[in-house]
A = this chain, B = another copy of it.
Amino acid sequence: VSSERLSQQIQFILEIDKLKQVVRQTKIIGGQRQENTAEHSWQLAVMALVLSEHANEPVDALHVVKMLLVHDVIEIDAGDTWSFDDKGYLDKEERERLAAKRIFALLPPDQAAPLHAIWEEFEEMRTPESRFANALDRLMPMLHNFHNDGGTWRREGVTMQKVLARQSAIARGSQALGDYSLALLEQARKLGIGPVE
């Protein structure tokens, strides 16, 4: 083992510790505090293990899990851009591209390249794995909002139109989860905790 190689790998592990300090809009269930991106990434990875049978096409489970574990590390530099932050989305792509370039490059080149590629794959949504991973990433905040009396839907007054636009991609990765999330929205509406009509 080259100690230079191990040292680069450890440097990457230390760097990503910062993701624990990136705060998302969504609150943990029970609503005591906003969740951070590190714990969010963990929950998505476990979701992938448990829900992969619902993907529309067969998926490589390890590939999906890898993708979800690293899909948000770019937020260390780029910050979390809330799904309904129209202004933040204007330069989101550029900020995240620069972040990916810097952060993955901490690793030895033979490891940096495939992880950088898997992050791009997630963003592009062109493979079964990335469509399924994106479905989970969009479903989870809906579950949080539903189980937090409407969460950001109510607090920020998000419209049903905007939520549906984002939710619609869930069915591209998993029809079953797409149907589930639509039913969740309908139930939220009935309970008066859904997005603004």
Binding site for B on A (CB under 8 A): 1, 3, 6, 9-10, 12-14, 16-21, 28-30, 32, 35-36, 38-39, 41-43, 45-47, 49-51, 54, 61-62, 65-66, 69-70, 107, 111, 115, 140, 143-144, 147, 176, 180
User: Cβ of A17 and Cβ of B42 under 8 Å apart?
Assistant: no
Cβ contact within 8 Å between A38 and B47: no
CA distance A20 to B12 in the complex (A): 23
Question: Per a CB cutoff under 8 Å, which of B20, B29, B38, B62 touches A62?
Answer: B62
Looking at chain A's contact residues, the main secondary structure is helix
* CB-CB nearest in chain B for A136: B13
Complex contacts, A38 vs chain B, CB 8 Å: 38-39, 42-43
Known: A13-B43, A13-B140; 15 extra A-B contacts, CB below 8 A, are: A10-B143, A10-B180, A13-B143, A14-B143, A14-B147, A16-B43, A17-B144, A18-B29, A20-B35, A21-B30, A41-B42, A49-B115, A50-B107, A50-B111, A61-B62
**Residues in B whose Cβ lies below 8 Å from that of A32:** 21
